[in-house]
Amino acid sequence: MEVIFIGSTLIILLVTVLPLSRHPHWIIRSMDFPRLQIAFLAGALLLLLFFFAELHQTISWILIAVTAICLVRQLWWILPYTPLWRKEVLADEHGNPGANISFITSNVLTTNRNADALIKLVEKYKPDILVTLESDQWWEDQLKVLEEDMPYSVKCPLDNLYGMHVYSKLPLHDAKISFLVEDDIPSVHACAELRNGRKIQLHLLHPAPPSPTENEESAERDAELIVVAKRVVTSDQPVIVTGDLNDVAWSSTTRLFRKISSLLDPRVGRGMYNTFHAQYRLLRWPLDHIFHSHHFTLRQIKRLPSIDSDHFPLYTALSFSPAKGELQQGLDDDSEDRERAADITEEKDVSKEEVPQPK
C-alpha cells in the first residue's frame, strides 16, 4: 500500500510541476488541460492517505503534505471559473435592444453530418452572429439556408479542419481573412455594426493545438493569441474575440492573453462551460472562448446541446454598456508578462501590425 501511495503522489506531483516550466512541448502543455481532473484525483488521494496510510510514519505525512500542496496549486488555477469567485463581468439581464449582440460559436467537426442540429439551435436561440470552425464546403452548402435571416457572411471553407464561416444579422464591415502565423490556419477580422449604429471589432480565431499529430509545440498557437492580444489593446473601439482557441481558460497562455489584451472573461465567477470533449463526460474542459473589452456586460452565457460534434456550441449574449463596463476590471500585466509576450511573438516572427484592425 505504501508503494502505491508513493507512486500516486509522485504522479500527481509530476503533472502539477511540469506546466511550471512553460516549455512549449505538447506533452507539457497538455498538462494545463486536465487541472479539474487532477484536482479531483489529488483530493481522492488525500482522503485515502488519511484513512489508510500509517499516520505514525513520517513518510505518510510527507505524502499528505505534497498531495495537499498539489491540490491547492490545481485549485488556484480553476477556482476563478466557479461561482466561488468574484464575477469579472457584470450581469445585465436585458441590456439595451439596440446595443445587444449575441453569438453562437461552434466547432462543427468537419466529418460531422448533423448540420440540421446546428440550424435548429440557430433558429431557437436566434444569435446575431454564428461562427463555425472546422467548416468545409459541405457545411457551407448546408448552412446556406441561414443566409435569408443572416445575410452578411464571411466564408473560408477548408478541408484541413480549419475552415471558418461567419453568418450575421448585423452588417459586417471591412472583413478580412488572415493567416497570421501558419499558412493554412485562417482567422477572420471584421467590424460588426450594432442596431444603434455603434461598430465593434471582431477577431475570430482557431489556432492549431499542440499535439503529436499537428504541432509538437504550442509556439504557433501561443503566438497567434498573443499577437492578437497586442493588437486589440491598442484599439479605441469595443472588441470581441471568440473562437476555438485550443487552449483552456485557466492556462498560463490564456491568462497572458487576457493580461496583454486587457479583455474580460465572462466565465470568471460563473462556471467553466466546458465545451470539449462532448462525447467524454469525465474528460471535458473549456476550449471555446469569448473575451471582450470593458464596454460590454453579460446578458447570458450557455453551453448548448450536442450537435454530434466533439465540441458543444457556446451561446453568449452581451450588451454594449460602456458606463457600467467602467466598473469591470480583468487581469493586469507587468514587465515580466510583457517580456514573455515579446518572446512568444518574436520566436514566430509575427507582429501586431499583421493583425487587421477593421474600422
Antiparallel, parallel or unpaired: β 187-193 and 164-168: unpaired
Residue 93 pLDDT level (bands cut at 50, 70, 90): confident
What pLDDT score does 135 carry? 98
> Which of 135, 174, 170 has its CA nearest to residue 155?
135
What pLDDT score does 353 carry? 96
CATH of domain 97-354: 3.60.10.10
188: β partners: 177, 204
Residue 193: CA count within 13 A, CB half-sphere: 9
Residue 178: CA count within 13 A, CB half-sphere: 24
What pLDDT score does 22 carry? 85
Instruction: Find the angle CA(310)-CA(314)-CA(320) to the nearest 5 degrees.
Output: 160
- Evaluate if residue 114 carries a pLDDT over 90: yes
Determine the Cα–Cα distance for residues 219 and 348; give it in Å rounded to an integer. 7
Domain boundaries, the chain: 2-81, 97-354
Residue 179 pLDDT level (bands cut at 50, 70, 90): very high
Average pLDDT of the chain?
A: 96
Q: Which runs of E-coded beta strand occur in the chain?
A: 100-107, 129-133, 152-156, 164-168, 172-178, 187-193, 199-205, 239-244, 288-292, 296-303, 314-320
Residue 1 pLDDT level (bands cut at 50, 70, 90): confident
- Evaluate if residue 96 carries a pLDDT over 90: no
